[in-house]
């Protein structure tokens, strides 16, 4: 802040919309005081002042009663965490890293990052892994989030940016298909764009197994079986071709591979697609007509079609529909992905992914290695090769070839990873688990060393929103005395591990190096500066020099492939990794609710959000509920081949009768990811969160009390007992 009482223009810490907001100092004082309040920032173009409850309540996490305020260490396995100083904690980490390396080699130290980290932190974490640790084993939770869309983007267009156009273009398209996206719950301020689209005469089609609040606003809602979006896209392409709605001139001038895609689509005739998806032929025809006849069309996907073991091909099929109808590389048309996490876009561009270096460069590309090594002042041959993807990294922990020490930064895999009980067991086998977080998350509770870090309002840094717009978060308040930034702690660890230079704590300094490292890469930030971002309300990448205006719209002249043409994927439908059978006759699909965010590590600590969404539930259709003899609110158990979860039934005709839904924000007995299937997409290595086979049964007598309640009580007691926590939490426990 520039003076007493001054407001700071910044952005929300949560989702990829990165809404603009202002922070105004409060008069509050005392141990649990919240130092700032959120006010609107109508001049920021993406959300124009609108915020959801998560953003409005975000300052609650700045209060001392809620967050960690000093490092914690555990003296022996199974022992309690106790308070420690920074030197002791960092010395312990450095010693553990050295031991793991000496005994098992450099790859025995793993790093697990997060899609919520700023660009500077993601960049520095990748550099730290490669230069200081020398490990190939770094990946991040964004692999769970949108890596299939990224892979499909690169395959089709030669470049991955979630939206190739600003959100402001959406109201001007003729027909929009939203696939597996529920912005009414995940990013409510974005709904305005879809409303405006309809006010302008455009049509909105929503594809979702549930009749969500987003689907309620659609002109047409298609409700497929989970895991069948690929067949649906091919069925629509089939009808578009059969009805003569292909844009032949566009296909000839700007694409390759159409004939193979055409052959694949023609094998997915309407009756067959109805059998696979459960969507009636009449509805398929209506959707194909609306999209095929529109002057311009867009398809936006989110986690629904992406979090599948065939997610890359599924997104590829939707892109093929766009390409065949000429809806790409021209105004108000195209395919895009609605990124989920706060820095889901930037987090995947600057080197915390197992196979990438900054600027979206491949770690296996000799020229890329040489460029980045020169910026880092190291020998290119010293840089590790590609490491394991996120689930493979977690699955291997403590095993013969797996990491023995792990640094987790900005992630909570105990709740958010698939097959979470197995992942938790692997985390327990580590010789050293280090977690840097702002709260004592479920993963931090397993750690040997917990490092308390600054949060959004306490630091400067950039993120890149779902449009590819690089924006600036500004420090509004000082962090508590015992809290440090991740950039600082990476520098301190580097120094302890023998690297004295190259890890500054100042975010702008790191960003300036990131600019050089990204120069000439696909995600070129070299023309972007803090000053420009502040002056221009964000700058769209690529922006290769300071005089360049940035690139709000991609591909208008050519696609980023070697020949400048977009590539059809030409894919065919295949079943999910696990389909319902006699023993597990239902589909489970998972997702988010309005008042919680991701693993809930932050939002579950905000009273008003918890009041709105206090716990997990199992949404099931009235017909299924009747068959099971279950009433609304009754405890039910959902069982998969990997585990069991217990939560109250929420009976609703909004969901398919063959499908149940659970939100994934909660740990303990109601943890949805105890059930999910880690089947991986062969290209993106994305796990199949969105569909697995389950059965639902009435919970055995006392089960929810024994499991859910016990887990809840244990969580509160453990949190209250941990050093660094406050009287508030102790009292609550």
Query: For binding to ligand SF4 (CB under 6 A), which residues are involved?
Result: 12, 14-15, 17-19, 47, 51-52, 54-55, 187-189
Min separation Cβ 683 and ligand SF4, Å? 29
Shortest distance, position 356 Cβ to ligand SF4, whole Å? 25
Nearest to 93 by CA among 489, 464, 500, 639: 489
In the bound state with ligand SF4, the residue whose beta carbon lies nearer, of 187 and 646, is 187
Smaller CB separation from ligand SF4, 47 or 590: 47
Cα distances from 352 to residues 46, 116, 135, 402, in angstroms, run 27, 12, 12, 18
Compute the least distance from the CB of residue 123 to ligand SF4, in Å: 22
CB closer to ligand SF4, 51 vs 231: 51
- Check: CB of residue 721 under 8 Å from CB of residue 612: no
Q: Who's near 135: CB < 8 A, 6+ residues apart?
A: 106, 107, 108, 109, 110, 111, 129, 384, 387, 403
The least CB distance from residue 594 to ligand SF4, in Å, is: 9
CA–CA gap between residue 209 and residue 656 (Å, rounded): 6
Question: Around 482, how many Cα atoms within 13 Å sit in the side-chain half-sphere?
Answer: 21
Contacts of 54 (CB under 8 A, 6+ apart): 12, 14, 15, 595, 597, 603, 606, 609
Closest residue to bound ligand SF4 by CB: 55
Q: What is the DSSP string of 296-324?
A: SEEEEE-HHHHSSTTHHHHHHHHHHHHHH
Task: State which residue, 54 or 671, has the beta carbon closest to ligand SF4.
Answer: 54
Nearer to ligand SF4 by Cβ, of 348 and 515: the residue is 348
**Shortest distance (Å) from residue 398 CB to ligand SF4:** 35
Question: Residue 10 or residue 411: which is nearer to ligand SF4 going by CB?
Answer: 10
- 542 cis-preceded (ω within 30 degrees of 0): yes
Smallest gap from Cβ 103 to ligand SF4, in A, equals 43
Please name the helix (run of DSSP H) or strand (run of DSSP E) that holds residue 561, with its range, or none. Answer: none
Shortest distance, position 342 Cβ to ligand SF4, whole Å: 7
Nearest approach, Cβ of 106 to ligand SF4 (angstroms)? 38
Q: Please say which residue, 12 or 560, places its beta carbon nearer to ligand SF4.
A: 12
Locus of tokens 């709605």: 245
Instruction: Give the number of residues written for the chain.
Output: 733
Supply φ then ψ for residue 695, to 5 degrees: -120, 155
Report whether 616 contacts 704 (CB < 8 A): no
Only one residue has tokens 């809930």, namely 600
| Shortest CB 44 distance to ligand SF4, Å | 10
**d(C-alpha 691, C-alpha 328), whole Å:** 29
Q: How far is the CB of 15 from ligand SF4 (least distance, A)?
A: 3
CB of 55 to ligand SF4, least distance (A): 2
Comparison of 71 and 347: residue with beta carbon closer to ligand SF4: 347
Which residues lie closer than 8 Å to 81 by C-beta, 6 or more apart?
72, 73, 74, 445, 447, 450, 722, 723
Q: How far is the CB of 531 from ligand SF4 (least distance, A)?
A: 24
When the beta carbons of 14 and 511 are compared against ligand SF4, the nearer one is: 14
- CA dist 659 and 657 (Å) reads 6
Closest of 352, 348, 248, 242 to residue 288, by C-alpha: 242
Q: Shortest distance, CB of residue 40 to ligand SF4, whole angstroms?
A: 11
Query: Tokens 């770690």 correspond to what residue?
Result: 363
DSSP annotation of 378 reads: S
Distance in angstroms (rounded) separating the CA atoms of residues 435 and 450: 5
Nearer Cβ to ligand SF4 (287/466): 466
Cα(501)–Cα(127) distance, integer angstroms: 12
- Token pair listed for 19: 């809404």
By C-beta, is 192 or 698 nearer to ligand SF4? 192
Structure token pair of residue 337: 């992905």
């Amino acid at each position: 802040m520039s003076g007493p009482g001054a407001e700071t223009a910044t952005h929300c810490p949560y989702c990829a919309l990165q809404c603009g907001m202002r922070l105004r100092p409060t008069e509050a004082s005392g141990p649990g005081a919240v130092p700032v309040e959120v006010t609107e920032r109508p001049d920021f173009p993406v959300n124009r002042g609108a915020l959801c409850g998560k953003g409005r309540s975000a300052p609650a996490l700045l209060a001392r009663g809620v967050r960690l305020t000093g490092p914690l260490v555990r003296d022996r396995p199974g022992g309690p965490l106790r308070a420690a100083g920074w030197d002791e904690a960092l010395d312990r980490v450095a010693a553990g890293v050295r031991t793991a390396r000496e005994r098992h080699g450099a790859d025995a130290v793993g790093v697990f990052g997060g899609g919520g980290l700023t660009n500077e932190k993601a960049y520095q974490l990748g550099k730290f892994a490669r230069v200081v640790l020398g490990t190939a084993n770094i990946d991040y939770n964004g692999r769970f989030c949108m890596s299939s869309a990224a892979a499909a983007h690169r395959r089709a267009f030669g470049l991955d940016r979630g939206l190739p156009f600003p959100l402001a273009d959406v109201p001007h398209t003729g027909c929009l298909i939203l696939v597996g996206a529920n912005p009414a719950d995940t990013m409510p301020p974005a709904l305005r764009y879809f409303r405006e689209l309809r006010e302008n005469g455009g049509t909105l089609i929503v594809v979702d197994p549930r009749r969500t609040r987003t689907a309620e606003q659609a002109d047409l809602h298609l409700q497929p079986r989970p895991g069948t979006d690929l067949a649906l896209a091919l069925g629509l392409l089939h009808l578009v071709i059969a009805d003569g709605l292909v844009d032949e001139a566009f296909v000839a001038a700007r694409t390759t591979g159409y004939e193979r895609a055409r052959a694949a689509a023609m094998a997915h005739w309407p009756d067959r697609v109805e059998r696979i998806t459960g969507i009636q032929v009449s509805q398929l025809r209506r959707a194909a007509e609306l999209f095929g006849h529109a002057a311009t069309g867009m398809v936006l996907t989110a986690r629904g079609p992406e979090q599948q073991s065939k997610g890359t091909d599924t997104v590829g099929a939707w892109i093929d529909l766009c390409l065949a109808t000429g809806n790409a590389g021209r105004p108000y048309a195209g395919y895009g992905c609605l990124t989920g996490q706060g820095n889901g876009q930037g987090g995947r561009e600057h080197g915390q992914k197992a196979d990438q270096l900054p600027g979206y460069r491949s770690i296996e590309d000799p020229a890329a290695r040489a460029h980045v090594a020169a910026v880092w002042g190291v020998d290119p041959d010293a840089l590790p090769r590609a490491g394991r993807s996120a689930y493979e990294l977690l699955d291997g922990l403590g095993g013969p070839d797996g990491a023995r020490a792990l640094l987790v930064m900005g992630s909570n895999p105990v709740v958010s990873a698939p097959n979470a009980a197995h992942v938790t067991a692997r985390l327990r086998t580590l010789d050293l688990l280090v977690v840097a977080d702002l709260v004592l998350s479920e993963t931090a509770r397993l750690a040997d060393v917990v490092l308390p870090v600054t949060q959004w309002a306490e630091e400067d840094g950039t993120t890149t929103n779902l449009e590819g717009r690089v924006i600036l978060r500004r420090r509004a308040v000082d962090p508590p005395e015992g809290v440090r930034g991740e950039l600082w702690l990476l520098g301190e660890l580097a120094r302890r591990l023998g690297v004295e230079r190259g890890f500054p704590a100042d975010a702008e300094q790191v960003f300036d190096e990131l600019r050089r490292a990204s120069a000439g890469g696909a995600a070129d930030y070299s023309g972007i500066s803090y000053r420009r971002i502040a002056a221009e309300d964000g700058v769209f990448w690529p922006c290769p020099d300071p005089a360049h205006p940035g690139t709000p719209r991609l591909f208008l002249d050519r696609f980023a492939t070697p020949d400048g043409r977009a590539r059809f994927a030409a894919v065919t439908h295949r079943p999910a990794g696990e389909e319902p059978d006699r023993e597990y006759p239902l589909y489970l699909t998972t997702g988010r609710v309005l008042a919680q965010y991701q693993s809930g590590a932050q939002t579950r600590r905000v009273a008003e959000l918890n009041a709105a969404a206090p716990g997990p539930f199992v949404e099931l259709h009235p017909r299924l509920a009747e068959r099971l003899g279950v009433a609304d609110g009754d405890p039910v158990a959902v069982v998969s081949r990997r585990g069991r979860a217990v939560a109250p039934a929420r009976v609703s005709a909004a969901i398919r009768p063959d499908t149940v839904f659970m939100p994934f924000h909660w740990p303990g007995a109601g943890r949805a990811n105890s059930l999910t299937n880690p089947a991986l997409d062969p290209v993106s290595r994305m796990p199949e969160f969105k569909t697995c086979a389950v059965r639902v049964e009435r919970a055995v007598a006392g089960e929810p009390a024994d499991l859910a309640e016990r887990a809840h009580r244990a969580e509160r007691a453990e949190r209250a007992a941990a050093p660094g926590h406050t009287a508030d939490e102790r009292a609550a426990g």
